[in-house]
């Protein structure tokens, strides 16, 4: 069954004489199930219809369909692109807002307004307080600055603030 393994890796389905089964479950161009028939009979039916015999599913008896292979490949690529587009649209985007423990009130207000815009657009925000040098000994100032920012922005914390090296960070969303 080496061919079945390769079938999953390829982007295209076996067509016509490349189908390596003696018998196949055949579906005609109208979607009617013809049952399990010999591969040569299925190829003859496809040839009479002026279409291709395409393997669409694998198994003990592979499922083959009589259809226009060019149109089938085109529809498959369109479906793949559509699925990728939908996945991009529904993905949650994370925007990061970074400041220091000594950041002034006005600057925090400006960043809070930016955070509100991000949340209105449907994004989540990662709030990061970056410490440098001796600021690491005053972690309480970073927590105060973070809580002041949260009050200004009017956001709800999704995760508890945590230290990761020189950074204090938390995820936030809308209230």
Angle between helices 105-120 and 139-153 (to 10 degrees): 50
Ordered domains of the chain (ranges, CATH): 2-87 (3.10.20.80), 94-173 (3.30.110.10)
pLDDT for the residue 175:
66
pLDDT digits (tens, 9 = 90+) for 112-169: 999 889 888 888 899 999 998 888 888 888 888 888 888 888 888 888 888 888 998 8
pLDDT for the residue 11:
56
What is the β-pairing status of strands 156-157 and 162-164?
unpaired
Q: Three-state SS for 161?
A: coil
pLDDT for the residue 3:
53
Gap between the Cα atoms of 8 and 28, Å rounded: 23
Structure tokens at 2: 């080496």
Q: What does R_g of the chain's alpha carbons equal in angstroms? A: 30
Q: How far from 142 is each of 7, 64, 88, 102, 104, CA to CA, in Å?
A: 56, 65, 35, 8, 12
pLDDT digits (tens, 9 = 90+) for 59-85: 788 888 888 888 888 988 999 999 998
Q: Contact, 168 vs 143, CB < 8 A?
A: yes
Round the average pLDDT of the chain to a whole number and report it: 83
- How many helices (H) and strands (E) the chain has is answered by 5, 9
Q: Contact, 169 vs 128, CB < 8 A?
A: yes
Q: Contact, 62 vs 24, CB < 8 A?
A: yes
Gap between the Cα atoms of 10 and 149, Å rounded: 52
């Amino acid at each position: 069954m080496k061919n079945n393994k390769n079938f999953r890796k390829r982007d295209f389905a076996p067509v016509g004489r490349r189908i390596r089964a003696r018998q196949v479950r055949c579906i005609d161009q109208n979607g009617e199930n013809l049952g399990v028939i010999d591969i040569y009979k299925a190829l003859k039916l496809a040839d009479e219809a002026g279409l291709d015999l395409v393997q669409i599913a694998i198994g003990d008896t592979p499922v083959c369909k009589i259809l226009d292979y060019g149109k089938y490949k085109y529809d498959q690529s369109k479906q793949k692109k559509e699925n990728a587009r939908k996945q991009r649209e529904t993905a949650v985007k994370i925007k990061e807002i970074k400041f220091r423990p000594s950041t002034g009130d006005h600057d925090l207000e400006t960043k809070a307004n930016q955070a509100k815009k991000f949340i209105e657009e449907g994004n989540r925000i990662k709030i990061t307080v970056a410490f440098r040098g001796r600021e690491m000994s005053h972690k309480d100032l970073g927590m105060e600055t973070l809580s002041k920012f949260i009050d200004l922005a009017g956001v709800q914390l999704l995760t508890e603030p945590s230290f990761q090296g020189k950074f204090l960070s938390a995820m936030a969303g809308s209230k």
